[in-house]
Amino acid sequence: MKSIQTKLTVIILLIFIVSMGTLGGLNYWKARQMLSDSLVKEIATLATVSADDVNDWIEGRKLEMAGIALAPVLQTGSPENIGPFLMQAVKNNGRYETFGYIAPTGIALDSKGVSVNLGAREYFQKAMKGEAAVSDPVVSPATGGLVAVVAVPVKLDGKVTGVFFGSISLDEISQKTGEVKIGKTGYAFMLKSDGVTIASPDKTLVMKDNPLKNDKLPPALRQTAERMVKGEAGTTTYEYNGVAKMVGFAPVKSTGWSLAVSLPVSEATGALSDLTWISLLTILIILAITSLIIIWFARQIAKPITVLEGAANKIAGGDLSLTNLSINSNDEIGRLAKSFEQMAQNVRELIKQIHSDAEQLAASSEELTASAEQSAQASNQVAISMTEVADGATAQLAAATETSAVVEEMSAGIEEIAANANLVSGQSEQAAGKAKDGGAAVNKAVSQMSQIENTVNMSAQVVAKLGERSQEIGQIVDTISGIAGQTNLLALNAAIEAARAGEQGRGFAVVAEEVRKLAEQSEAAAKKIASLIGEIQTDTDKAVEAMNNGTREVKTGAEVVKAAGVSFGEIANLVTEVAEQVKQMSAAIQQMATGSQQIVNSVRNIDELSKKSAGEAQSVSAATEEQLASMEEISTSSRELALLAQDLQTSVSKFRI
């Protein structure tokens, strides 16, 4: 990610995606929790309402039975009158299969004229205590349907004189239970006090299935059934036939029954799945729109930075012609652009000023150089003239000295000059000897350089022959490689022929295979040798080239040494001549010392004047030489200044303003 636009886009998108993902996850979790809580409440409420509805129906039947029990014929307990009354009551109340009256002794008479002892029945005992009671459902012998006995006390003057009961069909209860719906596939079922199913959409389970005693059912379902028969209310989940289900249950208060409402969890969370897809689609749409906005925003930020980058590259390349960056924003980037333009303007003005100053400096340095050279030439002429004057004064002083032989101090000086001349003569002779020795050493060096040249030439010839031998070996290796390839091919053909020959050619096939392997090894070795020969040839060529270079360097060195020998010979001759001249000068000085005594008085005054003139001439000559040295230094400095000015002009010319 080299582009700042890409970096901004990716970073902002990542932050937005993480934020939206976190927000979506929290919303999903919260919605799931709220939906789950809502479903739990809804299914629990539905179970309670449905159980209360069944309970209200039972209570209605109790009130209905209590109203019939107020009949005087029941209160008197006359058997001859009760039978017809019961028959008529059945005709008047179609939902009841039979009516009956139970005397305090437990002997019952029903509407069909059947007399049985029901004294042990729970609903009889409870009704005799003055409470209405409902029995657990049983299968009717007459219809095969489920019926329940509703029993109410018969009272006379506030005392229980018997029990009036009726067998009522539970089809209405089953119908009410079947009408309870939740979701698409949710249903209700009902258990009696012992856990037997008394209402269910699956009729095969009615009065046959008991979750408390069915070990094949999941433990969670059996635990739910246990809570139901205990009269508890609540919600739970269990798995039945591989389907996870949510169930809410509540007791039918006037009985020992319990009603449950069941709903598959997948259906319960179906709305959550729809909500999830809608939320995801919404997030994707928002993400797409936000991505476009972020890309546009990043582009708006990156565009002026790109312009600034291009301007910086131009300035880095020496182009200072920048005037307007066309960035009109008032933010930090806009202010940076204005500062950038101002910086370019300031640098442009500075370069112009430097360019002008460099031109003036170059012109001034050239003028200074010319003036210094002229002054140096004039000083040089003055120095030459003063040297000639000093030489003339010195010559005059020497002449005066030669004529003042009478003065002892001057004689001693002349004698000292003679002694020094003798010393110089001896040193000249030594120098001549050393020059001769140097010439001999140079001649020896020339001889050795010639030997080295011959040795290098011989080495070069040997290396060249080695290169030729390497090429010949390479040709031989190529021949070996070709022979190996042919041998490999012949071995292959022999193997084929041996295979055709069958059993008789098996031994020959083994030999052919070994020959083929040997040919392959030979060919591989030949290739390796060819590679090594190639490397040797390359190194040999380099060695030949190095030998040739060495030969040329040795020739050059020999020529230089020879030239040095010639120079040493010339130096020896010159030193010898100088020594001879020094000897002659020493003899002449001795003669002058002898004759100077005769004319010393006549030239004493001249001697004094000559000394004074020579001293002044030497002082002027020294001052002139110092001035000449100063002018030469000034000339050198002005030339260096001119070169610096030219370099500055060259550097400044690289900028375009």
pLDDT tens digit string along 358-387? 778 777 777 767 776 776 676 677 567 657
Buried b (16+ CB within 10 A) or exposed e, 80-114: eebbebbbebbeeeeebbbbbbbbeebebbbbeee
Mean pLDDT along residues 642-657: 71
Distance CA(149)–CA(152), nearest Å, equals 10
Question: Within 13 Å of residue 120, how many CA atoms lie on the same side as its CB?
Answer: 2
> Which domain covers residue 209, as residue numbers?
32-270
For helices 171-179 and 4-68, angle between their N-to-C axes, nearest 10 degrees? 160
CATH code of the domain containing 197: 3.30.450.20
- Which residue did the predictor score with more confidence, 416 or 235? 235
| Per-residue pLDDT at 404 exceeds 70 | no
Distance CA(104)–CA(323), nearest Å, equals 122
The single residue listed with the structure tokens 């000034």 is 634
Indicate the SS3 state at residue 91.
helix
Which residues, 6+ apart, have CB-to-CB distance to 98 below 8 Å?
86, 90, 110, 111, 112, 166, 167
Q: 400: pLDDT confidence band, cut at 50, 70 and 90?
A: low
Highest mean pLDDT among 30-34, 521-525, 596-600, 609-613: 521-525
Stretch (H or E) spanning 238:
strand 234-240
Distance CA(400)–CA(608), nearest Å, equals 9
Cα–Cα distances in Å, from 11 out to 156, 609, 618?
A: 91, 103, 89
Range name among 123-132, 245-254, 277-286, 425-434 with the lowest pLDDT average: 425-434
Q: 232: pLDDT confidence band, cut at 50, 70 and 90?
A: very high
| Per-residue pLDDT at 596 exceeds 50 | yes
Asked which of 270, 301, 319 is the last residue of a domain, the reply is 270
Distance CA(401)–CA(380), nearest Å, equals 31
228, 260 Cβ separation under 8 angstroms: yes
Three-class HEC string of 138-190:
EECCCCCCEEEEEEEEEEECCEEEEEEEEEEECHHHHHHHHHCCCCCCCEEEE
Distance CA(88)–CA(9), nearest Å, equals 90
Among 251, 246, 257, CA closest to 232: 251
Indicate the SS3 state at residue 107.
strand
Which tokens in the block code for residue 587?
């003899």
Mean of per-residue pLDDT scores for the chain: 77
| Per-residue pLDDT at 271 exceeds 50 | yes
- Which residue did the predictor score with more confidence, 106 or 241? 106
Query: Mind listing the pLDDT tens digit for each residue in 79-135?
Result: 788 989 999 999 998 889 899 999 999 999 988 888 899 999 999 999 999 999 999
189, 118 Cβ separation under 8 angstroms: no
Distance CA(539)–CA(536), nearest Å, equals 5
Query: Mind listing the pLDDT tens digit for each residue in 13-29?
Result: 788 788 877 877 777 66
For 112-129, the DSSP string reads TS-EEE-TT-HHHHHHHT
pLDDT of res. 28? 63
Q: 340: pLDDT confidence band, cut at 50, 70 and 90?
A: low
- Ramachandran angles phi, psi of 156, nearest 5°: -135, 120
> By percentage, how much of the chain surpasses pLDDT 70?
74
Among 396, 392, 376, CA closest to 624: 376
Q: 191: pLDDT confidence band, cut at 50, 70 and 90?
A: very high
Mean pLDDT along residues 323-337: 71
Distance CA(183)–CA(557), nearest Å, equals 113
For residue 491, count other CB atoms closer than 10 A to its CB: 21
Pairing of strands 115-117, 243-251: unpaired
Which residues, 6+ apart, have CB-to-CB distance to 301 below 8 Å?
4, 5, 8, 333
Does 59 fall in a domain? yes
For helices 332-403 and 270-316, angle between their N-to-C axes, nearest 10 degrees? 30
Does 3 fall in a domain? no
> By percentage, how much of the chain surpasses pLDDT 90?
17
Name the DSSP class of 248.
E
**What is the pTM assigned to this prediction?**
0.42
For residue 30, count other CB atoms closer than 10 A to its CB: 10
Among 148, 149, 142, 59, CA closest to 102: 149
- Ramachandran angles phi, psi of 183, nearest 5°: 70, -150
| Per-residue pLDDT at 335 exceeds 50 | yes
Alpha carbon 247 to chain centroid distance? 53
Distance CA(320)–CA(359), nearest Å, equals 20
Which residues, 6+ apart, have CB-to-CB distance to 226 below 8 Å?
195, 212
Does 545 fall in a domain? yes
Mean pLDDT along residues 277-298: 84
Asked which of 242, 270, 298 is the last residue of a domain, the reply is 270
Does 292 fall in a domain? no
Distance CA(89)–CA(92), nearest Å, equals 5
Domain tally, the chain: 2
Query: Mind listing the pLDDT tens digit for each residue in 52-62?
Result: 999 999 999 99
Distance CA(645)–CA(478), nearest Å, equals 68
Name the DSSP class of 362.
H
Mean pLDDT along residues 241-260: 90
The single residue listed with the structure tokens 């089953």 is 174
For residue 428, count other CB atoms closer than 10 A to its CB: 19
The single residue listed with the structure tokens 């949510």 is 246
Distance CA(328)–CA(312), nearest Å, equals 18
Name the DSSP class of 203.
G
pLDDT of res. 52? 94
Distance CA(411)–CA(591), nearest Å, equals 11
| Per-residue pLDDT at 524 exceeds 60 | yes
For residue 202, count other CB atoms closer than 10 A to its CB: 11
Indicate the SS3 state at residue 257.
coil
For 496-551, the DSSP string reads HHHHHHGGGGHHHHHHHHHHHHHHHHHHHHHHHHHHHHHHHHHHHHHHHHHHHHHH
| Per-residue pLDDT at 424 exceeds 60 | no
First to last CA, the chain: 35
Does 63 fall in a domain? yes
Range name among 81-95, 540-554, 590-604 with the lowest pLDDT average: 590-604
Indicate the SS3 state at residue 208.
coil
- Which residue did the predictor score with more confidence, 331 or 200? 200
Which tokens in the block code for residue 36?
């789950």
| Per-residue pLDDT at 506 exceeds 80 | no
Name the DSSP class of 656.
B
CATH code of the domain containing 519: 1.10.287.950
Does 577 fall in a domain? yes
Asked which of 270, 291, 322 is the last residue of a domain, the reply is 270
99, 90 Cβ separation under 8 angstroms: yes
pLDDT of res. 599? 47
Does 170 fall in a domain? yes
Indicate the SS3 state at residue 321.
coil
Pairing of strands 107-110, 159-169: unpaired
Query: Mind listing the pLDDT tens digit for each residue in 437-481?
Result: 766 775 776 677 677 667 757 766 766 776 677 677 677 767 877
Which tokens in the block code for residue 553?
């360097």
